[in-house]
Amino acid sequence: MQVATKQKASVVNLSGITPLEYKVLVRPSVDEVGLIKNEKTGFSLIKPADLEERDKHAAMEGVVVAVAKAAFTYEETAEKPPIGSVVIFARYSGVTIKGADGIEYRIMNDKDVVAVRA
């Protein structure tokens, strides 16, 4: 009988971005959209104010692409999430930046990562 093992997908940093100090580079799994545009009609819809307020408190998931050397060293018990792991963070934490590969990434403080998905 074979036992299936859960393995993390290997992630290669093609972004050209190297996080410094206490930063973590994450590729969000969902793009943030504040303005929804219909390409066929050219009309746009704006999210209602209450929806935007709920979004501010919502969590997002993403894949860890790179971690700075000093990240997660603020406590002895802090564990550095491995590259390729799925982490949860606040929707508007960090800075959104486009990498050399054309993908949008989030660079954030290590303390903005609130959990690692098992």
Q: What is the pLDDT of residues 49-78, one digit of tens each?
A: 666 666 656 788 999 999 999 999 988 888
pLDDT tens readout for residues 32-42 = 444 444 555 56
User: Cβ(85)–Cβ(10) under 8 Å?
Assistant: no
Q: Which domains does the chain have, with CATH numbers?
A: 23-31+59-116 (2.30.33.40)
State how far the Cα of 96 lies from the Cα of 45, in Å rounded to an integer.
22
Q: Under DSSP, is residue 40 helix (H, G, I), strand (E, B) or coil?
A: coil
State how far the Cα of 91 lies from the Cα of 108, in Å rounded to an integer.
11
